[in-house]
Amino acid sequence: MRYGDAMTVNGRCHCGAISYEAVVDPARVGLCHCTDCQTLTGSAYRATVPAPAETFTLRGVPPKIYVKTAEGGARRAHAFCPECGSPVYSRSATEQPKTYSLRVGCLEQRKELRPARQIWCRSALPWAMNLQGVTRAEKG
């Protein structure tokens, strides 16, 4: 599979019980504003990058899987750490997924993975589309 400017990434859940490595195309990073992604992340949107299944290597404890049926009927398996609850990836609920949708926040290279597209913008929280003007602090 041809994959643009391929980049090897590595990630892990918050507690480190799950780690993984994959190859991604940084130009394919996306944000999803659907209400399911808002609820599943506990945030305003989900940031992901697809990785071909043949490049994905999972290590550590097996993730807990939650299967969600989307509005269009597609079934997605959402994987998260059974210890800390960090969402790690999603994939088709079929036995042989073609890609893994990696959560950008779990990747060590997240600073280099700038979103290139946004989907389900009709569900976007109005304030999430432009954060200019929101007070900023370097630390909490």
Query: Per residue in 68-97, pLDDT tens?
Result: 998 788 899 999 999 999 999 999 998 788
Q: What is the pTM of this model?
A: 0.88
Largest CA distance in the chain: 46
Query: Per residue in 130-140, pLDDT tens?
Result: 888 888 898 88
Question: Is pLDDT of 106 > 80?
Answer: yes
Angle (CA) 103-14-41 rounded to 5° is: 45
4: pLDDT confidence band, cut at 50, 70 and 90? low
Q: How many other CB atoms are found less than 10 A from the CB of residue 51?
A: 26
Q: What is the mean pLDDT of the chain?
A: 92
CA distance 58 to 78: 14
Q: What are phi and psi of 113, to 5 degrees?
A: -110, 75
Domain spans, the chain: 7-127
Q: Right CATH number for 7-127 from 3.20.20.70, 2.170.150.70, 3.90.1150.10, 3.30.70.260? A: 2.170.150.70
